[in-house]
Amino acid sequence: MPPADRFVPRFAAEPPQEGLPYGRWADRLAEAFLAAGAGVQPEEGEELGEPGDIAWHPDRTYEGRTYVPASAPTSTGLELFGYVSFPRAVEGEEPDDLRATADVTGETAERNPQWRLDLCDEVVGRWRGEQGRPAAVTLVWGRALVNGAIATAELADLVVDQCPLAEGRFTLIAPDDYRSDYLEIALYDRGGREVARESLYEEDGED
C-alpha cells in the first residue's frame, strides 16, 4: 500500500468495555456529575432548574483514563451535559478518583426539530503531528435523532474513530483541528448507508 497522506492517530481510544451504567455504579457517577452541574450558570435570564433523568453514553478509555459522558434535561427546558472520568479500573474493583465536568445549554434537540444528531464535545488532550503541528484530541458524545447503527468521526475523509450506538447514544475520541481539517460526525445504518452528518463547527467556520 502507498504511504498515507495523513499521519494522524486513528482509533486511539479503547472501544466501549462496559454496558451503560446502572445500579450503584450509576448512582456514584450521578453524584459526581450532579455535583459538577450544581455550579454551572445558565445564560442571563434563564434558571437551571432541577435535573431530570441522566442519559449515560458509552464509556471510552484514552491514555489510561475512562470517560463516561452524560446529559440530563432540566425542569426549565435546558440541558445539563458533561462527563465523569476516572483511571482505568482494576478488574473486579470499582474505580476511584472520579472527576466530573458539566455545563448547561438552551440549544436542545427539543428546540431544534431539524437536527439529526445531537452533539457535545470537549478537548481532552493534545497530539503533535508532522512538524510539530498540534491536533486537539476531542471527546465527542451525542445521540442519534434518526435511525442509525454506528457513528463515526471523520477527519479529511478519513475515519479516525467509530462507536456502535447504545440506546441511540455514542461516544467518540478523535483528533480534531489538524492541518486545517476539522472533525465531522456521521451516522450510518446497519447496511453502511449514511443517514446523517454534522460538523463540530458552524457553517461559517466559527466555533
Whether 206 is covered by a domain: the verdict is no
Residues in the chain: 207
Q: Which amino acid is at 11?
A: F
Sorting pLDDT into bands at 50, 70 and 90, what band is 203?
low
- pLDDT cut 70: percent of the chain above it: 97
pTM of the model: 0.92
Whether 16 is covered by a domain: the verdict is no
46, pLDDT greater than 60: yes
**For residue 50, what are the contacts with CB-CB under 8 A and spacing of at least 6?**
74, 75
2, pLDDT greater than 90: no
Residue with cell 450532579: 34
Whether 13 is covered by a domain: the verdict is no
Whether 32 is covered by a domain: the verdict is yes
Q: How do beta strands 79-87 and 134-144 pair?
A: unpaired
What is the C-alpha separation between 116 and 149, in angstroms, rounded? 14
Smallest CA-to-CA distance from 102 within 121, 83, 78, 118 is with 83
pLDDT digit string, tens, across residues 159-173? 999 999 999 999 999
Q: Are the beta carbons of 27 and 59 closer than 8 angstroms?
A: no
Q: How many separate domains does the chain show?
A: 1
Whether 125 is covered by a domain: the verdict is yes
| Structural domain containing residue 151 | 23-199
Q: How do beta strands 184-188 and 150-155 pair?
A: antiparallel
